[in-house]
Amino acid sequence: MANGLTRNGYRVLCPLLAGHEGTEGDLRTATWQDWYESAEKGLEELAATCETVIVGGLSTGAVLALRLAARHRDKVHAVALYSPTLWLSGRQIPWYVPLFRLIDSKWLANLFRFPVPIHVGIKDQRIRSFIMSAMASEGAKAAPSAMPGGAVLERRRLARQVMKELGAITQPVLILHAREDDYAGLDNAAYLQRELAGPVDLVVLEDSYHMVTVDRQRHVVLDRTLAFISRIAGAVAETVRTCPAAHLRAVGSATPAAA
């Protein structure tokens, strides 16, 4: 996504989230507030140079993007969500995950480890094999085999907070979600479509799993995102042309697949 947007002339920033530096220990101790702070710094980094800002993310990154939109309505013009994950409901989720919702202690949560879904969220076997080989190649970080329970708990805490703020998000939202998402069911997207206060364009993908930005329909995802960005940028430019006094200091960024 970042490469595709850059090729089309957009400035893109994909901030590395706190706790995602490469070790499980980092991920076990980081909080959702740490993740959000990383995303917020990415937004601020571009805020002085871009005229239009569209924040976005994949999975939990989509939830972080929603919070940026709720907290920075003066800077964020629109939101692009890829497989937004408020809760885990895909068919690859272990049966015991609902029981984990009873745990609200970080120390206790980190006693558990959740295996990465067997398909790693990618339907196309060729793409899946290529990515797994690249991640495991010499000099690259090995693909994780499990997610620490503490990170799963922090994701749940983040989602709980963001769900309280959905009514404050009035910006246009694009959602791209696979019908066969093996990690976060389509019910996540349907819920957002109902609860968000602004206009929502929901695109249901029929030939992908969770990682829609790299799976079989990645070109569809890019094309729909480009069309969305073009429409939003055009609307912002028209507002500036007709009502220059209403246009605040130029702010903006595009942060797709940030997490």
Instruction: Give me 88's structure tokens.
Output: 């885990």
Residue-level pLDDT at 92: 79
In a domain, 158, yes or no: no
> Which residue(s) pair with 173 in the sheet?
79, 200
Q: For residue 39, tell me if it sits in a domain.
A: yes
Assign residue 50 a region (left: φ > 0; alpha: ψ between -120 and 50; beta: otherwise): beta
pLDDT in tens, 188-218: 999 999 999 999 999 999 999 999 999 999 9
Identify the CATH number of the domain in which residue 170 sits: 3.40.50.1820
Find tokens 């309280």 and name the residue: 164
178 is in which domain, residue-wise?
2-93+166-255
Domain-embedded: residue 13: yes
- Asked whether residue 77 is assigned to any structural domain, the reply reads yes
Residue 159 within a domain? no
Residue 234: inside a domain: yes
- pLDDT at position 139: 52
Q: Give 43-77 pLDDT, tens digit per residue.
A: 999 877 888 999 999 999 999 999 999 999 999 99
Whether 101 shows a pLDDT value over 90: the answer reads no
This prediction's pTM: 0.88
Between 149-163 and 32-46, two packed helices, what is the crossing angle to 10 degrees?
60
Please give the structure tokens belonging to residue 147: 């997610």
Positive or negative: CA dihedral 47, 50, 55, 58: negative
Task: Say yes or no to pLDDT of 254 above 50.
Answer: no
- Number of domains forming the structure of the chain: 1
Say if strands 173-178 and 78-82 run parallel, antiparallel, or are unpaired: parallel
Is residue 173 a part of any domain in this protein? yes
- Does the pLDDT at position 93 exceed 90? no
Q: Is residue 103, in this structure, part of any structural domain at all? A: no
Q: Is the dihedral of CA 92, 96, 99, 103 positive or negative?
A: negative
Long-range contacts of 61-66, Cβ-Cβ distance < 8 Å, separation of 24 or more: 61/17, 61/257, 61/258, 61/259, 63/155, 63/158, 63/159, 63/162, 64/17, 64/35, 64/36, 64/39, 64/158, 64/258, 64/259, 65/39, 65/255, 65/258, 66/162, 66/165, 66/166, 66/169, 66/192
